[in-house]
Amino acid sequence: MLDFVQNHIFISLLIINYVIAIGTAFFIILNNRNPITTVSYILSLIVLPFVGLLIYFFFGQEYRKDKMFKRRNVFNNKKVKEWEKKLLVGEQKLDQYEDRFLDNQVNIVKLLQNNQKKPLTFGNDVEILLNGEKKFESLFKDIEQAKDYIHLEYYIFNSDKVGLQLIDILCKKAQEGIHIRVIYDYVGSALSGKQEKRMQSAGIEIFPFMPVWFPNLTRKLNYRDHRKIVIIDGTLGYVGGINVSDDYVNPCKKGYWRDTHLRIKGNAIKSLQSHFLLNWNFV
């Protein structure tokens, strides 16, 4: 056996490579990653002996991020458990509400509270905004009326026309003494350093979510902040699918972009605020 290995060193190394590669492939599949990423790494392990393992070792491992997010989730779960005592409605009360106005929806409410810790809230006024034009028109007016603070969290925050409009209003409000906090995703956003410094100079607290060395090479689905939310004075909020970008204002480069956002007033803002503050602590 030893003689065979010495006389066929390359074949022996190749066998060892594929044994490790097969084990690594199983690990990648069980790790439940994005399908495109999974297939890409497995193909590189098969087609590129030795090199494929090096590629995965240097670019596929994310121990630091995994550890960081586990730590974040432990903290979040602890805080959520503290908050749920104040926000979640007890099952006894839910059963009372069932006859009054929940009808057959009480089981859905119980499911969301038990599994996702999403509380039922009352006294909410919800307005559906069917496109970016309506969303930004409404949002800019509400920001102009802010009296105390503004919290923003976006996956895409670009320094384009609509982005600059928002930055102009935020800087103006900050100079009026309004406390403003901004979270933007480092990979999803195209916010220029100049505009970021401008906001900081105006007194706005702004932080990127999970900055990386090479954002264009980073997987855009994993470990990113895909939220699009705004909270104003703790009484008014926005949440939905529309980012801060000209791509969401029609007509746009892509032709026509159809998306939905919500303008909410009422007790649901407490839940929205809690999620923002968890990420604020993280960044």
Please check whether residue 100 lies inside any domain of the structure. no
Residue 274 parent element (H or E): helix 268-282
Lowest-pLDDT range, 65-69, 104-108, 185-189, 210-214?
65-69
Per-residue pLDDT reduced to its tens digit, 57-72: 666 655 556 656 666 6
- Same domain, residue pair 249 and 169: yes
Among 44, 61, 78, the domain-final residue is: 61
**pLDDT tier at 165 (50, 70, 90 boundaries)?**
very high
Same domain (yes/no): 170, 46: no
In this prediction, residue 241 carries a pLDDT of: 96
Residue 1 has pLDDT above 70, yes or no: no
Same domain, 168 and 53: no
Q: Per-residue confidence at 152, pLDDT binned at 50, 70, 90?
A: very high
Clarify whether residues 32 and 131 are in a common domain. Answer: no
**Position 93 in a domain:** no
Q: Do 259 and 133 share a domain, yes or no?
A: yes
Sheet holding 236-240, edge to edge: 125-129, 261-265, 236-240, 228-232, 149-154, 179-185, 205-209
Of residues 28 and 131, more confidence is placed in 131
The pLDDT of residue 132 is above 90? yes
144 and 276 both lie in a single domain: yes
- 260 and 141 together in one domain: yes
**By residue range, what is the domain housing residue 162?**
124-282
Q: What is the CATH number of the domain that holds 145?
A: 3.30.870.10
Asked, for residue 82, whether it belongs to a domain, the answer is no
Distance CA 194, CA 200 (A): 10
Same domain, 56 and 141: no
The pLDDT assigned to 69 comes to 62
Evaluate whether residue 97 is within a structural domain: no
On whether the pTM is more than 0.75, the answer is: no
Q: How many domains does the chain have?
A: 2
Q: Is residue 162 part of a domain?
A: yes
Q: List Cβ neighbours of 109 (8 Å cut-off, separation of 6 or more).
A: 89, 94, 102, 120
- Cβ pair 263, 189 in contact under 8 A: no
